[in-house]
């Protein structure tokens, strides 16, 4: 099966600082393109998208250089979602100009989970509204309690293309499916939002999660968004705390066997190709 992996991270803690890795020591080590290739051998991953990996903000442009080095090794790295300090409002324009000069940058992300969410502040909204001018998308990685603020942001930015990472990180481990239904049902009403089917197993019990636990979340996302607004992502190497690349992909493939061939093509590569402008 042809795949575009819409959510991949690379890092080298010896080169850049990633404070959050202290809480997950099993993955506090270098993960580079050759490691990804080993993990995905046997699969037809034709392209992949690097997503900023939350190094220290002042190192974000150094991270961009680091990823370009990885892309020089493997041309399948076809897109980059870079860090951008959107809380700066219109002052972020110079930063966005730097990003736009990079041929692989397709979007930005300002991670707000686990912190006070700045997304309803006027400067953040102003910056988010600027992104279409630069041809950039906005990945949002949030937790369920931040959904209402995110709805308010999206309502104020109708021209901006939003990508919801990890289906909004539902609390699968505690079975909070009703909250997920409410949030995803409303999120799917915004025509400028697509969502990544990624990062789900790390929201379940890392050791004991099952396919049956994940099933209703994938089913409901398909029902409300449709496959043409969903993107497959591995979330490698973060996924490794709960599953291998193989196990996550095999699980998802089993969960969508009822979908048509066209729907599976959309989920596994066509939506990512369209949203991140990866054709060619």
Cis status of the peptide bond prior to 237, with omega within 30 of 0 = yes
- Determine, yes or no, domain membership for 153: yes
Q: What is the pLDDT of residue 120?
A: 84
Q: What is the pLDDT of residue 114?
A: 63
Please name every residue paired with 49 in a beta bridge, in sequence order, or none if there are none: 79
CATH number for position 261: 3.20.20.140
208 lies in which domain range?
Answer: 2-275
The CA-based diameter of the chain, rounded to the nearest angstrom, is 48
Q: pTM for this structure?
A: 0.97
pLDDT, one tens digit per residue, over 185-242 is 999 999 999 999 999 999 999 999 999 999 999 999 999 999 999 999 999 999 999 9
Q: Which residues contact 25 (CB under 8 A, 6 or more apart)?
A: none
DSSP string, 109-163: E---TTS---TTSHHHHHHHHHGGGGT-EEEE---GGGHHHHHHHHHT-TTS-EE
What burial class does residue 71 get, using C-beta atoms within 10 Å of its C-beta: 0-12 exposed, 13-18 middle, 19+ buried?
buried
Q: What is the pLDDT of residue 118?
A: 75
- Determine, yes or no, domain membership for 73: yes
Q: What is the pLDDT of residue 116?
A: 65
- Determine, yes or no, domain membership for 280: no
Tokens in use for 212? 């049956």
pLDDT band at 115 (very low <50, low <70, confident <90, very high): low
Per DSSP, 236 falls in state: B
- Determine, yes or no, domain membership for 43: yes
Chain centroid to CA 265: 18
Q: Into how many domains does the chain fold?
A: 1
Sheet containing 2-8, strands listed edge to edge, beginning at the edge strand earlier in sequence: 2-8, 44-51, 77-83, 105-109, 137-140, 162-164, 193-197, 230-232
- Determine, yes or no, domain membership for 77: yes
Q: What is the pLDDT of residue 41?
A: 96
Q: Are 225 and 188 in contact (CB under 8 A)?
A: yes
């Amino acid at each position: 099966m042809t795949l575009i992996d819409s959510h991949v991270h690379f890092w080298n803690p010896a080169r850049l600082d990633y404070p959050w890795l202290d809480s997950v020591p099993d993955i506090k080590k270098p993960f580079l393109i050759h490691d990804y290739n080993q993990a995905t051998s046997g699969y037809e991953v034709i392209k992949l998208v690097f997503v900023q990996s939350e190094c220290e903000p002042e190192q974000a442009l150094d991270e961009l250089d680091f990823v370009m080095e990885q892309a020089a090794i493997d041309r399948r790295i076809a897109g980059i979602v870079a860090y951008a300090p959107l809380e700066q409002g219109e002052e972020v324009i110079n930063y966005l100009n730097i990003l736009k000069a990079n041929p692989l940058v397709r979007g930005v992300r300002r991670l707000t989970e686990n912190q006070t969410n700045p997304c309803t502040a006027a400067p953040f909204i102003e910056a988010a509204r600027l992104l279409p001018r630069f041809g950039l998308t906005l990945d949002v990685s949030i937790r369920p309690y931040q959904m209402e603020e995110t709805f308010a942001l999206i309502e104020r930015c109708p021209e901006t293309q939003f990508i919801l990472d990890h289906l909004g990180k539902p609390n699968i481990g505690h079975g909070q499916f009703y909250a997920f239904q409410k949030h995803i049902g409303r999120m799917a009403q915004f025509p400028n939002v697509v969502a990544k089917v990624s990062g789900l197993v790390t929201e379940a019990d890392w050791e004991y999660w099952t396919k049956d636990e994940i099933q209703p979340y994938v089913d409901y996302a398909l029902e409300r968004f449709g496959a043409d607004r969903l993107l497959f992502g591995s979330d490698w190497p973060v996924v490794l705390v709960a599953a291998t690349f193989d196990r996550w992909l095999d699980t998802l493939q089993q969960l969508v066997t009822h979908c048509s061939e066209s729907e599976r093509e959309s989920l596994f590569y066509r939506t990512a190709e369209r949203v991140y402008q990866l054709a060619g």
